[in-house]
Each structure stands twice: as C-alpha cells, then as structure tokens.
Structure 1
C-alpha cells in the first residue's frame, strides 16, 4: 500500500475487519479512500456490536434461568450422550442377565433403567427449562438410581463369600446382603421423603405472593435437608460395607505390610483355594470405589445448599456422579458374576478345590423325612432304639 497523503489510499487495497464473537469481514477499499479515519470508525462500531451481542447472550441466558428451576443452563449434548451411554450399558447388562438367567442381579439393571429415564428427562428438560415435571423426574431418578447399584454390590459380596467359605467372613454371608439392603431401604425411604418435599414445592411466577414464595423456599430447604440425611445414611452404610470389603493395611507374617481386605486377607492366609472368583472380587473392588466416590460427592453437594459451588457447576455432576456410576455398572459387562462363580447360590468351593452343593433347608427336611419313613417301614427305628437303650 502506498499513499502520498497520510491515510489516503493511492491503489485499491484489500482489508480484513474482525468483529469479535460475531464475524470476520473482508472487503476492498478503492483508491483515494481515507483509510485511517474509516478503520477507526469501523473499529468503534464493531466493538459496540460485539458488546451488544455479548450483552444479548447474557441477557438471554439470565432470562432462561430466571424462569426455570435450574441454577445453571444444562447442556443438551452432554445429557443426550449420557442417555445413549446408559441405555447401551443397561441393554448389555440385560442381555447378560438373560444369557446366564441371573435374576438375582436384577438390582443393577433397575439402577441402569432409572438412570436412563432420568437422563432422558434431563435431555428433554434442557429444551424446556420451565418444565418442572421433567426437572423433578430427572432429579429423583439420578439421586435414587445408585441405591440399586449399591444393593447389587451387597448381594454380590454375599454370593462370593458364600461360595468361597463362610469361615472367611466377619459376618455370615447370608446376613451381609440383608443388613446392607435394609440399610439401603431406610436410606431410600428417607431420600424419597426429601424428594417428595421438593416435588411439593409450588410453581412460582410473577403473580406469586410473598407467602407462596416463602412456603416454596421452606419446602426447598426441607427437601434439601432430608435428602442430605438420606444420602448421609447411605454413605455411612456404604463405608461400613467398604470396611468389610475394601482394603486396609494388615501386617502379614514374614512379609511387608500390604493392602488387603479382611476377606481377601483371610482367604490368602488361611489356605483358601484361589480361582476365578478372585478376579470377580477385584472387579467388585473397582465398582465399589466408583460408587463410594459418588456417595461422597452427593453428600458434599447437598451440604452446600441448593445454590452452592457444586450444585451450580454441571461438570462436577457429570464427572463425579453420572460417569462413575456408569463405569461402576459397566464393569459387570465384562466381569459378569456367573462367569466366575456358579449361578446356584448353594454351590460351595471345597478345601481341596472341588465344588459341591449344599442342600437347602427344604431339601434337608425332605431327605430326613424320607429316611425316617424308610427306616420306619423296615423296622430299623425300633431296633436302633432298643439297642441304644441297651447300651445305656
């Protein structure tokens, strides 16, 4: 570019103007054009346009939030991805369940179905932020679904311990499932009560009276506190479960202290027969750690109130809740329990490595009655009674 007078173009010149956040413009300025004054005016105009565009976008988001129950604008693409992933994982788990006829592990499936429904409602809610029904549905599903995932973990640990040997367990394997499931049920009912308080919150609008607004706020606080109590009970129960299953440091004879679980330690030091079941135990380790991360996150989140740091940042919800529960469930696509332990819960692993089946109470009773009937018909019972009397 050449000019005899400062700022005046002597030849046609191609120039580019950038409007931040809006568009990039390219044009050709003719000869004789006052370049300096034109570009100065254009720069002033574009900065005003950019500021106006930013203000409009901010105002639009603020308007959307002002008329919704969300503390942030939720992401539709991320919610849609969550729906697809949960639906896929749940479908694969259902296929596994039917493949092995493992109906006892259905709690894991129920959790996946609830998560899928919850994120489906969330994805739809991102397109209609004023729809409180969708908001309440996604909130209840994503809060309550992991309870079923945890219940599946409890049942699985009881199955593994029952198969390997009761002598390696702090508690009788049959009790483990029931103790923690009852605890989960109590937690579930408390959380349902909290969710009910949130669902009872009346819809507010510009015509709402101060008393209606105050009542809505009271129900919101009540629901938040009750949910926090339910989550705390759930966390306490799961921590106790983790202490039963998860690792802690125990010094073993002639070895360095190592990280083992009580059950793992007992089976290693008391000559338990190893086998595929230990692989399943390690899969359970991974899954329970993931569930524990979610439990801790939710308690901290609700303890911060409805508009705290965690509740108002969507990324933490997906990273510390949705993703970890998805992975905790997906673990069993590859490590389905029936691939590593028998599906029959009465099968036992003998000390010599052979499997045998323990009779149920009904089977033992039937066998005893059959034996008694046989002996009575042959006269063995009376003869034995006489001999026993003689011996005494």
Structure 2
C-alpha cells in the first residue's frame, strides 16, 4: 500500500476535553438561543433566523464535546463529527444575518449613495459568498471526517481550508464596505439619519465588533487547519474555547443587546415614508419640513384654500406642491 493510500493516523483529540468548560458553553449558547428566538418571534425579524440556527449549532456542537468527555480516551466518531462540523459551520450561519443587517441599515437611513455596492446587490453578494463558504466548509469537513486514506484526509483539509479562506475574504470585504459607508454617512449625513429614532450609530459599532470577532475566529480556524494535525493550536483545548467558543458567544450576546428589532426600529416604516414621498402629501397630513439646524423634522400643515405646498422656511406657500392633491 502506497503512502497516499495508507490509513491516516488520525487522532480525535490531542487533549482530554474539559466537561465543565464545554458544558458551560452548552448552557450559555442555549440561553442566548432562547433570547434570540423570543425576539425573532416577538419582533418578526425572520431574516435573523440563520443567526439563531448558528447559536443552536454551537450549543449542540458543544453537547458533542460533553459526550466526548465521558469517552476519554476511547472517543467515538459520532460525537466527534457532531462537534467538529456544527461548531465549524455555525459562524457561517451567523454571518448570513450580519450581512443582511447592513443593507437594511442603508435603506433605513436613505443613504444608498454612500454604499460602495448597489443596495440591491449588497446583501445578495455577501450572502452568496457566505453560502459558498458554508457549502465548501461542509464538504471539506465531511470528506475529512470520513477519510480512510491520507490522500482523502489531505483533500478534506484542503477543501475545508478553501471554505474558510472564502469566509475570511468576504468578511474582510464586508468590514471595508461597512467602514466606508460609516465614514461617508458621518461626513454627509442624510435627512433620514437625523429623523430616525433608532440608535443606528451604536448599531454600527456593534456591527464592527461582531464582524471583527467573526473574522478573528475564521482566521484562527484557517491557521489551525493549515498547520496540520501536529500544530500547537490542536494540542490544547484552550485555543478552541477562547478563539472560537468565547468569541462566538460574545457575538451572540452583543446582537442580543443590540438586536436589529431595536437598532433598526422603523425599517418597515421607511418603506411607507418612501411611498408617501413619491406621491406627495395627503390632505391634512404630515409634510416633511426641513429647516436650518433641524433636518428631518416633520410639521403639521393645516389645509387652507390655495395653500397646498410648503417652503423650507416652515411657512406654507401659495404655490402648489408637485404631486399633491388639489383643493
């Protein structure tokens, strides 16, 4: 039998997994999962379901590690595959929801011109990259878990590395896109950015934090798999617990506190406002009155004969408002 066909000397763990540490992650991820489920259902933020599934993947993955602690040193394949694949793939699911949030923020602030990627393509491009990363990592993990030869093991590792590299690439581009948008909206704020009551500035900072943590975790896993079975990173459980488990748990907590239902409050109302702006004011309705020093404010304008429009000074004008209703 050639070296390429030889049975690989694969060792499930290079340490004895800690029951206390892994059980703690099971409990903590389960708690944040319940919190996210509650907010998703109550606030109807259905696009955040992938993030919830990612949290559940983490919790179940660490259940696999808890099971493994009772098998030391005669570990079995089932719990190993369970923890390996679920913990590996969970961040890709979380990332999908994170990508969707930026597009919604751009539309909420009516700041399409500040995005370097067209808003209609913003979410699609990054989610497509995330799906590609997820599928590639899943394929690589599947090949690696069922490898019977060294050649198959190497193939699985290379495919998995490609998936992680795709994730790092797209998340890096996403962070750059977010930074540029933040700089532009700060230098040239839109009227909507003043009138929106949602704490979108805090939300952008939360988005930075979550993106950075997921990126660091992805870089860690890339280096871990690239270093091979004898790497220092695989030799101690502490690296996985801190650079993967803890970072993803912090991400889940951050977006539980700065949940899109709160940070992007008014997103649905944004659609209504745009439709109203496009067809003009209704009779006796709220007209967008912009005055120096107070952009984005609205003022009630009573209906009076011959006074259907408005001026930026805040006084009704005698001229008609284009697109309005005639008295």
TM-score, normalization: structure 1? 0.63
Does 2:31 correspond to 1:113? no
Aligned mate of 1:125, from 56, 68, 72: 68
Contact 2:104 2:267 in 1 (8 A): no
Q: Hey, what's the Cα distance between the residues in 2 that align with 1:141 and 1:197? A: 15
Contact 1:280 1:335 in 2 (8 A): yes
Match of 1:47 in 2: none
| Cα drift, residue 340 of structure 1 | 2.6
How do residues 250-289 of structure 1 correspond to structure 2 at under 5 angstroms? Answer: 261-272=179-190, 273-274=193-194, 276-289=199-212
Three-state SS of the structure 2 residue aligned to 1:310 is helix
| Cα drift, residue 197 of structure 1 | 0.8
Match of 2:226 in 1: 303
Match of 2:246 in 1: 323
Q: Report Cα offsets for 1:222-241 as digits up to 9, x if no partner.
A: 21121111101111111111
Larger strand percent: 1
Contact 1:159 1:345 in 2 (8 A): no
How do residues 41-56 of structure 1 correspond to structure 2 at under 5 angstroms? Answer: none
Cα distance, 1:70–1:319 mapped onto 2, change above 3 Å = same
Q: Which has the larger radius of gyration?
A: 1
Match of 1:234 in 2: 167
Aligned mate of 1:167, from 96, 100, 113: 113
Three-state SS of the structure 2 residue aligned to 1:338 is helix
Structure 2, unpaired ranges of 5+: 1-8, 277-327
Cα distance, 1:75–1:67 mapped onto 2, change above 3 Å = farther
Match of 1:356 in 2: 273
Match of 2:177 in 1: 244
| Cα drift, residue 200 of structure 1 | 1.7
Does 2:49 correspond to 1:89? no
Q: How many residues align?
A: 260
How do residues 328-339 of structure 1 correspond to structure 2 at under 5 angstroms? Answer: 328-339=251-262
Contact 2:143 2:156 in 1 (8 A): yes
| Cα drift, residue 343 of structure 1 | 5.9
Q: CA RMSD in A?
A: 1.9
